[in-house]
Amino acid sequence: MLPLRIESQYFGSVQYIKQIATANSIVIDVHEPFKKMSYRNRTLIVSAQGPLLLTVPLQSGRDQKASMYDVKICYGQNWPIKHLKAMRSCYKRSPFFEYYEEGLNQLLNTRYPYLIDLNMGILDWLQKVLKTDYTISKTTATIPYLDPNFIEARDSSNASSIDQNIANQVYSQVFSDKIEFIPNASILDLLFCMGLSTNIYLKDSHL
Per-residue model confidence as pLDDT tens digits over 174-203: 999 999 999 999 999 999 999 999 999 998
pTM of the prediction? 0.93
Distance CA 177, CA 179 (A): 6
What is the tens place of the pLDDT at every residue in 103-160?
999 999 999 999 999 999 999 999 999 999 888 999 999 998 889 999 999 999 987 6
- In the β-sheet with 136-138, what is the strand arrangement from edge to edge? 136-138, 26-28, 4-6, 151-152
- Look at residue 164 in the predicted model and tell me its pLDDT: 52
